[in-house]
């Protein structure tokens, strides 16, 4: 494909990064942090999780270099610590089964919690390699070229994959 990584893309290539991505909660934390920095308390409330679990998973993501400290803010009763993703997008050049399973599990949890109807389609097509490449390019272009609404709420997720069936 002709879409080249840029400065907002983080390449996933270390065992520690792959291990960090191999848990659905860590994937969901990366989803939640894709729009803006947040605190452990806000993330826990948003994801319907406990703060201790969120704290643990954030620590794993920080150690893998996928999330970083985004500063603090003084509030009544203490200080809030903010976290943010280190890059807008992740590029997993050589996906591993455990990371893909965690990603799909995280998406399934997000779909289950979604307050609105969602689109979920799986279709198998017979395509030549050239036609599959053109379709992949068109789909990537559609996603990449969709401009965000600066005031857009709520946030929508897009999961796109084109794969060749094994043994087909």
Q: What is the DSSP letter of 121?
A: -
Strands (E), the chain: 9-12, 38-39, 67-75, 78-85, 89-92
- Which pLDDT does position 6 carry in this prediction? 62
Q: Are the beta carbons of 61 and 38 closer than 8 angstroms? A: no
pLDDT for 168 equals 56
Q: Identify the structural domains of the chain with CATH numbers, from first to last.
A: 9-118 (1.10.10.10)
Judge contact between 114 and 135, C-beta under 8 A: no
Cα separation, 135 vs 55, in Å, equals 40
* pLDDT, the chain, mean: 89
C-alpha–C-alpha distance, residues 152 and 155, integer Å? 7
Q: Both tokens of residue 84?
A: 């943010």
Q: How far apart are CA 168 and CA 94, in angstroms?
A: 21
Digit-coded pLDDT (tens) for 55-78: 999 999 999 999 999 998 988 888
């Amino acid at each position: 494909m002709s879409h080249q990584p840029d400065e907002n893309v983080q390449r996933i290539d270390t065992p520690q990064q792959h291990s960090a991505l191999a848990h659905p909660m860590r994937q969901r934390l990366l989803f939640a942090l894709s729009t803006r920095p947040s605190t452990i308390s806000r993330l826990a409330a948003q994801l319907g999780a406990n703060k201790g679990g969120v704290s643990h998973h954030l620590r794993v993501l920080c150690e893998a270099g996928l999330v970083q400290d985004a500063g603090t803010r003084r509030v009544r009763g203490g200080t809030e610590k903010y976290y943010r993703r280190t890059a807008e997008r992740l590029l997993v050049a050589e996906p591993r089964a455990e990371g893909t399973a965690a990603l799909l599990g995280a998406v399934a949890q997000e779909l289950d919690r979604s307050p609105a109807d969602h689109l979920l389609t799986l279709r198998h097509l017979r395509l030549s390699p050239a036609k599959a490449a053109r379709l992949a390019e068109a789909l990537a272009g559609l996603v990449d070229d969709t401009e965000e609404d600066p005031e857009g709420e709520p946030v929508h997720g897009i999961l796109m994959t084109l794969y060749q069936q094994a043994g087909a």
